Amino acid sequence: MTDDAMGRPRPEPGPSGDPISLAPAAPISFAGAISFGPDAAPVVAEPGSRNDAGSSDPVEGKLLIIGSGPAGLTAAIYAARANLQPIVLAGSTPGGQLMITSDVENYPGFPDGIQGPELMAAFRAQAERFGSRIIDVDIERVDFSSRPFRVWARGIEYRGDAVIVATGASALWLGLESETRLRGRGVSACATCDGFFFRGKEIAVVGGGDTALEEATFLTRFATKVHLLHRRDSLRASKIMVERAFAHPKIEVHLNTIVAEVLGDSRVEGVRLVTTTTGEQRHLPLDGLFIAIGYMPNTDLFRDILEVDEKGYLVVRDESGSQIEGVFIAGDVHDHRYRQAVTAAGEGCKAAIDAERWLELNATPSSSALAGQG
């Protein structure tokens, strides 16, 4: 994740890039330290695991961690140092939202900032140093109905006496080819992360909800003008936010307006807009475009098993727990308030400590045996 001004994670950088949040979304290939991506060969198991010979025998461990953003990898660091030898099912595009973030300037400890992929490579190396097994596969199915908990990925069954779910959330995008091409080159989904780069510039925010209005208002600190582009004739955001936006001298609201194309070769130069009521098209020159049309938690595989709130985020009980004993939750998959790399990392730490303590009190024959092999 990227941390925005409020410390929330961010998906994409501005002109020079910026920080962010976590959960895997679109496949991305990074030139950064960690090499994965959709074309990377999956690491099915590390030496010593039960399917070294390529068999489909289950891979067993005391703790499974699902997700490899700041929450999942921090959980792995803590769990590995507690000798739990965690198995991290990292996803086929590991690293979470920070992998699509360039400069991360609000993660503590890096006064000059750090590239998102570089930061996640360091998280990963630290987790591996203490014995985490990180496997770059997307999970396909889970069964938490009894212990050991079971998770399947690419035909392999993984078993754990405890599980930490840290699958994150993904920013929603418009889905335009030009939007994808110019991400990090003026297209961003994180005003808090990237607003700083647009000092003295003219920019636009897409969306009509509270996030869009909040981001538009925040961006007026930097930009000379902020255009709010919304597809319908009324804004969805709360009344007070709408009133503030309309009253703000730097915000111009464009209703019934769709972004048909982001213009520019190597960086954003403007947008092509369509007025939905008339079909009229026009170009609006801009230096940056912020997409603020919402986030989606990566909870598809858990919705029927774990409690979700009205927005689809997992519900946490007692700091890092769920309604299933032994299943823990960390990061953006439940947190739609802060969405920061640093808060997700903190939650990963908490979940690992809680899992370790829970395992100590609830050892099964299999986990005891594994502990003996440790």
| Residue of the chain from 3, 138, 194, 214 that contacts ligand NDP (CB under 6 A) | 214
Show the site string, 225-254: x = touches ligand NDP by CB under 6 A, - = not.
------xx---x------------------
- Residue 141: CB atoms within 10 Å: 10
Q: Is 179 in the site for ligand NDP (CB under 6 A)?
A: no
Backbone conformation region of residue 326, classed left if phi is above 0, alpha if psi is from -120 to 50, else beta? left
- By CB under 6 A, the residues from 62 to 91 that bind ligand NDP are none
Compute the least distance from the CB of residue 310 to ligand NDP, in Å.
9
Nearest distance from residue 308's CB to ligand NDP, in Å? 14
Q: 3-state class of 139 per DSSP?
A: coil
Only one residue has tokens 């700091």, namely 319
DSSP one-letter code for 135: E
CA distance 234 to 206: 14
For position 211 contacting ligand NDP by CB under 6 A, the verdict is yes
Counting residues that bind ligand NDP (by CB under 6 A) gives: 14
- Could you report how far apart the first and last alpha carbons of the chain are, in Å? 33
The binder of ligand NDP chosen from 174, 268, 314, 352 (CB under 6 A): 174
Kindly state the smallest distance separating residue 292's Cβ from ligand NDP, in Å.
Answer: 6
Among the candidate windows 111-119, 132-140, 153-161, 207-215, which touches ligand NDP by CB under 6 A? 207-215
Q: Which is nearer to ligand NDP, 293 or 352 (CB)?
A: 293
Amino acid identity, position 230: H
Residues 6+ apart with CB under 8 A from 215: 191, 192, 195, 205, 207, 290, 292
Task: Give me the phi and psi of 245, to 5 degrees please.
Answer: -65, -45
Nearer to ligand NDP, 74 or 211 (CB): 211
The candidate with the shortest Cα–Cα distance to 109, out of 136, 139, 70, is 70
Footprint of ligand NDP (CB under 6 A): 174, 206-212, 214, 231-232, 236, 293-294
